[in-house]
Amino acid sequence: MTSHLAHLLRLRRWILLALAIGAFVTAATGDEAEPETPRRIYLDEFRPTSSLKTPQHLLERAKYPCINVHTHPGRLSDDEIDEMVRVMDESNIAVSVSLDGRAGAAFPEHMKKLTTRHPGRFVVFVRMDFVGDGDRQESDTWDIHDPDFGIAMADRLTEAVRQGASGLKLLKDLGLYQRDRDGKLYAPDDPRFDPVWKRSGELNIPVLWHCGDPVAFFGETSEKNERWEELYRHPEWSFHGKDFPEHQELIDARIRVIARHPDTTFICAHMADIPEDLAKLAGYLDQYPNMNVEIAARVAELGRQPYTARRFFLKYADRILFGTDGVPPKSELIPHWRFLETWDEYFPYEDNPFPPQGLWNIYGIGLPDDALQKIYHGNAIRLIPGVTIPE
């Protein structure tokens, strides 16, 4: 045995002895034992229960008849549509806007499916159709690559409006997924689309446009990303790196379109994807009177900044529309009513045991009646053909 090892063993004996004496002294003097370290948990196991006791108003329905300008009933069966309308009745939603109309023969079919069973309860927007006469499976064959795509699409739009369409819908694929034959992303303000924006104005229908996504989706999925947990679950939602544009490039591209087409009404989906910076959004709204926004899937963002959001909602009450995305069950609608109508504090923005869009809770902004009426229905009635509320 080396003397070094012998030394270590001696040291170890002393340490054990010291620990034993320490334990004896602790027991003898009644001191607290070392606290047991709690189990280390993963972020997705965290389920904190708030200890706050503050007034709660679990509003079951909107205070005024409401138009939901952002829904997706495209794949619903007749029974599911009936159920959707039942929830609309209970929640005081007069009309839902389906953003799932497809240009061509499918359009009147979808329209009929919704409106014959439930007249007056739905209007339908038609989607920009990048495929056209091409083969859906072969993106090289799609109409979008034709330099005259805009004119052809404008004519399809006219046809859809003749069949009853109330607006044009764009998904975020323009700017994030649609690529030319060389694999380069089409810019949302590519001039080939101009005839479509122009025609929308001539037809007097709004363009409801989702361009971009939350700014956090464009940042690195690191421990500093405020939506890390969500991006960890959905890595496909990250637009960081590769050849994706910056968040602001998409915002700028759509703004250039809005500026070029002052006679066309734009409703920018999801608070124009800049709810994190309402001062910036206010600047755009001040500059472009044809720009509007809807709140779908952004209550989480708005409700974490109640002072700023309330000022914004009061100032721009004529420019904000109500929307949810998806086909919301009643439980998902309640946080919307609470956010807009109450002063409730620190409540979950979704009916989910885990906040899915950022680990925080939200606050109500207690809007006055006149602002609520505009946001719930006034603006939608003014901007969207075919939308009415019962007398």
Best CA proximity match to 367, nearest among 60, 64, 68: 64
Retrieve residue 321's tokens: 């529309």
Q: Confirm or reject binding of residue 273 to Zn ion (CB under 5 A).
A: no
Q: How far is the CB of 96 from Zn ion (least distance, A)?
A: 12
Q: Which is nearer to Zn ion, 325 or 332 (CB)?
A: 325
Q: Is 8 exposed, middle or buried (0-12, 13-18, 19+ CB in 10 A)?
A: exposed
Q: Residue type for 211, please?
A: C
Q: Which two structure tokens, joined as six digits, stand for 9?
A: 């063993």
Q: For Zn ion, give the closer residue by CB, 173 or 249.
A: 173
| Residue list 343-382, contact with Zn ion (CB under 5 A) | none
Measured from the CB atom, the residue of 271 and 317 that comes closer to Zn ion is 271
When the beta carbons of 106 and 259 are compared against Zn ion, the nearer one is: 106
Query: How many residues lie near Zn ion (CB under 5 A)?
Result: 1
Are residues 212 and 172 in contact, defined by beta-carbon separation less than 8 angstroms? yes
Q: CB of residue 68 vs Zn ion: minimum separation in angstroms?
A: 11
Strand, coil or helix: 2: coil
Residue 266 β-bridge partners: 207, 291
Neighbours of 75 (CB within 10 A): 8
Q: Which of residues 19-38 bind Zn ion (CB under 5 A)?
A: none
- 391 C-beta neighbours (distance < 10 Å), count: 3
Q: Which is nearer to Zn ion, 294 or 325 (CB)?
A: 325
Shortest Å distance, C-beta 75 to Zn ion: 13
Q: Which is nearer to Zn ion, 372 or 380 (CB)?
A: 380
Q: What are phi and psi of 122, to 5 degrees?
A: -135, 145
Binding to Zn ion, residues 310-339 (CB under 5 A): 325
How far apart are CB 139 and Zn ion at their closest, in Å?
Answer: 22
Least CB distance to Zn ion at residue 83 (A): 19
Q: In the complex, which residues of this chain contact Zn ion (CB under 5 A)?
A: 325
